[in-house]
Structure 1
């Protein structure tokens, strides 16, 4: 009885599929955070934007031409990168909790600012044909990924647990 050796493509294919699944899972978590945080954080910054000086600033941001809006839209990412690098340096120095808190704070603050800026600049950004196409592709891909995540047993279990905790909380505070 002779055995045929495993094909090299199959041997390489399994780790690549596992890596792809892990990366897709991490990306799904990131997208879910963005989904959960985007609207509430944007509304919070809109509320802050009612301050007279900030209202003036928001009106000017909303009136920007497309490429100026794009440049402004990229600013929070560039500004928070050094903060995140500093947080990683802090973690490397043994201050795991502090570094993690800085990264999480930067993520929340960055999401809030980007969400508000996108709301203000979206009409201008959509005037750029390549941006509009990329945004539509991103939206389709993101919605398909979210549909897969929401159809998973883990997501459904989480929803059941969340409803259970909410009911118990309501009973406690009532």
Structure 2
């Protein structure tokens, strides 16, 4: 029985971490945008003043609070509320990863002074580098660039068409 459950557990863990990796690709730009547009100078200064272990505790708060969103979303989907489950999962995961990204950006140097955290982050970085080196990742990145370019062209066309319509009415 253990022989069967062990590969299943590894597959589920891989899916879990892949979902986080995919969401991280989305949350990075959101996190940078928030950092540019919302200063929160006093809060930022307080966070940066924390020593390493309190920084780790603060860094853990969004994970501890928002990680249970995944089973809630799964329950909603399993009970037939698929859209509610998907929305719950998306909002919870994006919120968690954006908060973690911002906190990590502010406390990275102090967190790296904790040996266990530095080791775990090194393993995470290795796994992320491996994932980004896969053919599947390159295909998804190419598709996302193509989609982004298509949306930009469609937006430019719509804006141009709308401005022509407005100027022709005058």
The answer to whether the superposition gives a TM-score over 0.5 is yes
1:75 Cα offset (Å)? 0.3
Output aligned runs, 1:4-23, within 5 Å.
Answer: none
- Check if 1:33 corresponds to 2:23: yes
Provide Cα deviations, 1:84-114, integer angstroms capped at 9, x if missing partner.
4433333343211111111111001111000
TM superposition score normalised by structure 1: 0.69
Question: CA 1:170 to 1:76, structure 2 compared with 1: closer, same or farther past 3 Å?
Answer: closer
Higher alpha-carbon deviation: 104-113 or 88-97: 88-97
Question: CA 1:89 to 1:55, structure 2 compared with 1: closer, same or farther past 3 Å?
Answer: same
Contact kept in structure 2, 1:45 and 1:113, CA below 8 Å: no
Among 91, 116, 120, the residue aligned to 1:105: 91
TM superposition score normalised by structure 2: 0.71
- Check if 1:137 corresponds to 2:123: yes
What CA RMSD, in Å, does the superposition of the two structures yield over aligned residues? Answer: 3.1
Segments of structure 1 that go 5 or more residues without pairing to the other structure are 1-11
- Aligned partners of 1:143, 1:135: CA distance in 2, in Å? 12
- Check if 1:119 corresponds to 2:105: yes
Partner of 2:34: 45
The size of the alignment, in residue pairs, is: 154
